[in-house]
Amino acid sequence: MHTAVQRVSFRLERERSLGLVGESGCGKTTIGMALMGLLPPSAQVLSGSVLFEGEDLISASDARMREIRWSEISMIFQAAMNALNPVHRVQDQIAEAIITHEPSLSSHAVAHRTRALFELVKIPQSRLKDYPHQFSGGMRQRVIIAMALACNPSLIIADEPTTALDVIVQDQILKSIATFQKETKIGMIFISHDIAVVADVCTDIGVMYGGSLVELGRTEDVFHCPAHPYTRLLVGSLLTLSDEPADLSRVSCEIDPTATGESFVGCPFNELCADAFPACKKGEAGWIELSKSHWVRCLLARKGGGE
Amino acid sequence: MKTAAPLLVMSDVIKIYRVSESLFGKSDRSVRALDHLSITINAGEIYGLVGESGSGKTTASRLIVGLEEADSGHIRFEGQDVVGLRGKRRKAFTKNVQIIFQDPYQSLNAHLSIFETVCEPLVIHGEGDRQSRLKKVCEALSTAGLSPPEAYLGRYPHQLSGGQRQRVAIARAMVLEPRFLIADEPTSMLDTSISFQIFQLLNQLRVSFGVTMLFITHSLAAARNLCDRVGVIYRGRLVEEGTASQTIMEPHHPYTKALLDAHPHFGSSKHRRYNTLKMTERTVPSADHCPFYPRCRSAMKNVCDSSVPVFKKIGDDHHVACFLF
Amino acid sequence: MNQPFLSPSPKTVASEDGTKVRHRSHWIERLAEGWAIYKKNLIGRIGLLLLCLFGIMAATSYIPQWIDPMYHPMTGVDPFISYSTGPSFSHWLGTDNIGRDIFSQLLAGARIAFIVGISSALISIIFGTTIGMVAGYAGDKVDLVLMRLADMIMVMPTLLVVLILSALFGQLNIWVIVLMIALFRWPGVARVIRSQTMSLRHRPFVEAARVTGASHFRILFRHILPNVMPLALLYMTFRVTSAIIIEASLAFLGFGDPGTVSWGMMLQWVWKTGHMFQAPYWLLPPGICISLITMAFYMTGRAMDDVLDPRLRKEESKR
């Protein structure tokens, strides 16, 4: 038995977006899947609850989850642009998503909504009847986003939506995401390993390591005043376009992601932390409030290390 | 600017791929992966080749190491032509020029132990005996940051993380102490903090071994922080070239400006928007106009669409291929 | 570095406290992993069980020889019986028309089936894998020539050709038969190995070897072969089945090696001496054995398929 995620708690308000950041294997995708009720049969939620608009999703029945999926919570999966069916036209695939959840809509209404969606993600209307292979990678990703928005969900979970894309295309997609989020006022959970991308797009950031959430707060707080040593490492690893070149000779610690929190007693980052002390191994650091919008789970913070 | 002797010179290299569309009956198309590409890399420097996918940067690296052959133009290493090298000359060349691939999960043979992988170049070139090879392998592994090296000798790639595998690839490339190293997007498949460590490692290699490097990337920030000189490549052509700070802090070509705009800015001190990009579909490049013309907001009709701009000097060691200058 | 230097064996690894720890060989580990998956497959277990049974039969075929060096299933006539009799205590499956023990013939047949099947398959595989690798790696003209050759051989009806050859050259030695079966059966393997080689040729680790200056020979046998071998071994199990059936058919038709006792030979004797409907104890055992051993090898092959697939998936890159 392997514990993938533990002690994760956060709250997302309408119109806000949360970026879940962490290395591969830290559990962020598992959380996304758990929220959608799409965990594999071998996975089990041992404790905790997920309250979506007051309703607990963990104890919801399969039928209820199917109702909620896509119409209230939708997801953009990793490498989703390869998930489009190559033998169906793009507009048909979007229409199918709409019809499955709102069978009572007339075909006229469906077509109208499809056109509106394309406009929202900025794909020319002339491309509606094309097949997926006629689109470039970036355009296909926009189609996927349109599909995710098809049923007007209140929450959208995007799992690494821009990983395989070029810089310019990535920038355009991120801008579209920011735009539609403002227009449609939906909540978003943006999962990525790249904290720079997340900082550009999301209002809040949650940092995960070894299956636990270690820091949570508004982007300005977490990104500019990182309190947890791991967050500091992530922010410090960023190469920026500032006037001064980065100091490549400074020491940074070696992260071995294969050693994900085997011991869930104490802090998962303990073995690699330069500032760790004995209590870190044994004690479970609870959430420490650094400010109304910034929490960290680290014993150092309590010792006055928080900013 | 110090003028060191040029180590690698690519002049007017053209590489064309023939693509035949059989399924829908279209005629044979050809794609110009590299279109009159000329790059000079001086000894001891790190040269960054920045471009997006399809720009031809990986093709350039493959031509240099001999995995593919150029259709025209010259590639010279230390003055010697490297196209069509065979036998002993090719073997001597492979000792001096090495490459690190993008995908650490596929660039190591899953059936060979780490020791066997890193030792292979030594075996191929018949260097030393068993004892000295073991020593060299351990040295290479420590240089690459895998310490203590003995712990890694008997392991297999599937037991290592992506970052560790990439370090093994670096150790393998460095074990023969080559003079020229090509790093083809070595961190694009790795997480951010590991990427940073790999950059540090590459920088360290230059400091310790004086190895000249061609660093291929799609990230301008990486190029700015690691490289001495940077060349921006678009659709097989070099559109701008200069020192890292000049090219990135004072970009001239509209495409370079577009790349800078697209880079995540949160946290950077300055936040300039150049806005040089038009939102259009990707078109098939043509040989008779500027490759960036369809997407360029500052494009001048009848100038930019009638011929290809020439590489012009606009400053001390700063060149641009654009009709605006 | 202040670490004590280990003996130059890449298989020893220092553990945390500095003591030497022997690291299991890579192939043994993979075999252990493969076995764990194979065990779960019911068909594989049945197949393996049957093979073990036949293996025991083949091994025990040496016992009569050991007890009495003069005995041979073909010549060992029971002094008291000179016609076909049913099963009894002295002859567990009865005797054939001139009083030879059927059971020991059956055991000898098992031995021949294994020898013929495995050696023929082995030759096929070695030949087919080498040609497939060379064709897939070299490409162009070499590939064209080799694959045309493979196609030509593949379309020829093996049995017919061997029959014709033996009609021309008289009774054939068992090893000639083995060789000929192998020579007609390699194209199937070669084709599959060729496509796998073609996809491996462009993988980064092969290109890395080329950039390092490895010779083609080295690339083929050190990099491509280990990746291609699991598939080759899988196909070997299928080759064994066809080899056994062809040999049995040849023997049944009277073109086998008269000096060897094989199940096909036994069937021929039943038929030629007109005992087909009168001596079921003589007719059925060899027939059943041929069917069962073929089925057993096939089942083993299918279970091995299961083992190979998930492991191939594990090799893929992960984020």
Residues of chain C found within 8 Å of residue A29, distances taken between Cβ atoms:
none
Q: Side chain identity at B211, as an amino acid letter?
A: V
pLDDT digits (tens, 9 = 90+) for A166-215: 888 888 888 888 888 888 888 899 999 888 888 888 889 999 888 888 88
pLDDT digits (tens, 9 = 90+) for A183-194: 888 889 999 988
CB A209 within 8 A of CB A268: yes
Q: What pLDDT, on a 0 to 100 scale, did the predictor assign at position C11? A: 42
* In-domain check, residue C2: no
Strands B229-234 and B46-50: parallel
* In-domain check, residue C20: no
Radius of gyration of chain C (CA): 25
Choose among C247, C228, C138, C137: nearest CA to C184.
Answer: C247
Q: Which of B:141-170 have CB within 8 Å of C?
A: 142, 148, 150-151, 153-156, 158, 169
Q: What pLDDT, on a 0 to 100 scale, did the predictor assign at position A263? A: 47
Strands A73-76 and A155-159: parallel
* In-domain check, residue C54: yes
Angle at A187 between CA A186 and CA A193, to 5 degrees: 130
Nearest by CB to residue C13, choosing from B91, B131, B151, is B151
Strands B229-234 and B212-217: unpaired
Confidence of residue B52 (pLDDT cuts 50, 70, 90): confident
Where do the domains of chain B lie?
6-236
Choose among B76, B63, B58: nearest CA to B11.
Answer: B76
The b-or-e profile of B49-77 (16+ CB within 10 A means b, else e) is bbbbbbbbbbbbbbbbbbeeebeebebbb
Q: Is B101 on the interface with C (CB under 8 A)?
A: yes
The ipTM value here is: 0.86
CA-nearest residue to C11 within chain B is B154
> Span A150-174, mean pLDDT?
85
For residue C122, what is the enclosing H or E element? helix C102-138
Query: Hey, are the CB atoms on B111 and C226 less than 8 Å from each other?
Result: yes
Q: Is C22 on the interface with A (CB under 8 A)?
A: no
Which CATH number is C216's domain given?
A: 1.10.3720.10
Nearest by CB to residue B53, choosing from A166, A235, A239, is A166
Confidence of residue A252 (pLDDT cuts 50, 70, 90): low
CB C193 within 8 A of CB C232: yes
Query: Hey, are the CB atoms on B270 and A194 less than 8 Å from each other?
Result: no
CB C174 within 8 A of CB C112: yes
Residue C96 structural domain: 38-312
CB B319 within 8 A of CB B243: no
Compute the nearest-CA separation of B147 from chain C (Å): 10
pLDDT digits (tens, 9 = 90+) for C201-238: 989 999 999 999 899 999 999 999 988 988 888 888 88
> Span B18-40, mean pLDDT?
73
- Kindly report the number of other CB atoms within 10 A of residue C277's CB atom: 8
Query: Hey, are the CB atoms on C318 and A24 less than 8 Å from each other?
Result: yes
C-alpha span between C147 and C204 (Å, rounded): 26
* In-domain check, residue C23: no
Which tokens go with B266? 């949160």
Compute the nearest-CA separation of B241 from chain C (Å): 28
* In-domain check, residue C127: yes
pLDDT digits (tens, 9 = 90+) for B90-121: 888 999 999 999 999 999 998 889 999 999 99
* In-domain check, residue C199: yes
> Span C66-72, mean pLDDT?
75
- The separation between CA A38 and the C-alpha centre of its own chain, rounded to angstroms, equals 15
Choose among C308, C303, C146, C177: nearest CA to C232.
Answer: C308
Which domains, and CATH codes, for chain A?
28-189 (3.40.50.300), 203-243+252-307 (no CATH)
Which tokens go with C100? 């030879």
What share of chain A has pLDDT > 90, as a percent? 2
Determine which of B110-124, B196-210, B269-283 has the lowest per-residue pLDDT on average: B269-283
Domain count, chain C: 1
Q: What pLDDT, on a 0 to 100 scale, did the predictor assign at position C134? A: 93
CB B65 within 8 A of CB B75: no
B6-236: CATH class: alpha beta
pLDDT digits (tens, 9 = 90+) for B73-87: 999 998 888 887 888
CB B150 within 8 A of CB C23: no
